[in-house]
Amino acid sequence: MNFPPIGFGTYQISGEACAASVRTALEVGYRLIDTAALYENEQEVGRAIRESGVPREQIRVTTKIRGRNHGFDEAQEACRDSLRKLGLDYVDLLLIHWPNPQNDRYIDTWEAMVDVKDDGLTAEIGVSNFTPSTLDRIIAATGVTPAVNQVELHPYFQQVELRELHTRLGIHTQSWSPLGRKSDLLSDPVLAAIAAEHGVTTAQVALRWNMQLGNTPIPKSVSPARIAENFDVFGFELNEGDMLELATLERGRLGSLDPETAEVL
């Protein structure tokens, strides 16, 4: 699958605000839209796609199976339910949202997704918030490697080892909270200095850094100006010195949930 270099995130946007943001994103040029059953906005995302006038085949739509729907039959039904809400015949990428290792049903879920893909309901299947051990387990159990692992990834949480594993296994990395959500990442002095040097914003530096590592960031915004700003990242390039400086900013996870222990239903 050809993954666009950047996508649009829709976590914590609902109702008309969600539909309007997705329409703006598609107008600006985004061609990857990220939703999830958990976000409870699949209907609005689907409506915005239909209203946008952009041909369906030009858009990559991701949705995710939530924790409460783990299990073979449950996951298959959840996928069909998401398609009904989206008003689509297929999605382009279906992910397991969180592994929920305590419940230990993610292997059954993965097996269901392999079938759902064979049935043509999704072009690709992948995972989110998977760690080396949970990745190893689903691959060993099924022989099927996820196309994607979508994980928290920004200059404060760089996921160096996990990215190396992804490269070895041929898994594409998608980066959630690429702007560090509501942290102080966007006012970091190192990002600010690099942004000033290139005449861009700190958000654009954070996104460009992710893209130059080969990842697909999926920033979220409800502001038309910021939606456009976040897509305007193709006209400059970070140099080796910038990348080396940004590599020193590691602090650790900003999200409060550790995928090895978190139960997200």
Ligand X SMILES: NC(=O)c1ccc[n+]([C@@H]2O[C@H](COP(=O)([O-])OP(=O)(O)OC[C@H]3O[C@@H](n4cnc5c(N)ncnc54)[C@H](OP(=O)(O)O)[C@@H]3O)[C@@H](O)[C@H]2O)c1
Q: Which parts of this chain interact with ligand X (CB under 6 A)?
A: 9-11, 34, 97, 128-129, 150, 176-182, 186, 203, 218-223, 226, 229-230
- Nearer Cβ to ligand X (159/230): 230
In the complex with ligand X, which residue's Cβ is closer, 14 or 241?
14
- CB closer to ligand X out of 132 and 241: 132
CA distance 183 to 21: 22
For ligand X, give the closer residue by CB, 107 or 254. Answer: 254
Q: How far is the CB of 255 from ligand X (least distance, A)?
A: 7
**Nearest distance in Å: CB 9, ligand X:** 2
Q: Which of 30, 39, 106, 156 is catalytic?
A: 39
Closest residue to ligand X, based on beta-carbon distance: 9
Q: How many CB atoms lie within 10 A of CB 53?
A: 9
39 labelled catalytic: yes
DSSP of 206-233: HHHHHHHTT-EE----S-HHHHHHHH--
Q: Report CA 28 to chain centroid distance, whole Å.
A: 19
- CA–centroid distance for 54 within its chain: 21
Write the DSSP assignment of 196-210 as a string of letters. HHHTS-HHHHHHHHH
d(C-alpha 83, C-alpha 77), whole Å:
10
CB of 254 to ligand X, least distance (A): 9
Q: Looking at the annotation, which residues are catalytic?
A: 39
